[in-house]
Amino acid sequence: MRIRPTTWCVFPKNEPMFGELSYTITIVDEGCGEYLRVEDSNGKIDFNTEEWPHLRDAIEFAIKQIKHNS
């Protein structure tokens, strides 16, 4: 038997774990290989590990654009 963490909750310190401001990150495997799922109260996004660097770069670029234009 193995024990493996597969789900993490990210939420503000003074908020409930499954509140509106929380995120759940899960390793999912439905038989076609593992991928990540990020969920919040509005929905979810699934992506594989090869997609993450591109998504991260785009998100960081967008954040810089917001800070630059604020």
The answer to whether residue 13 is domain-embedded is yes
| 49-65 burial: b if 16+ Cβ within 10 Å, else e | eeeeeeeeeeeeeeeee
Q: Report the pLDDT value the prediction gives residue 3, as an integer from 0 to 100.
A: 97
Q: 17 is in which domain, residue-wise?
A: 7-68
- How many distinct structural domains can be found in the chain? 1
Q: Report the pLDDT value the prediction gives residue 31, as an integer from 0 to 100.
A: 85
pLDDT in tens, 18-51: 889 999 999 999 888 999 999 999 999 999 999 9
The answer to whether residue 17 is domain-embedded is yes
pLDDT in tens, 56-70: 999 999 999 998 887
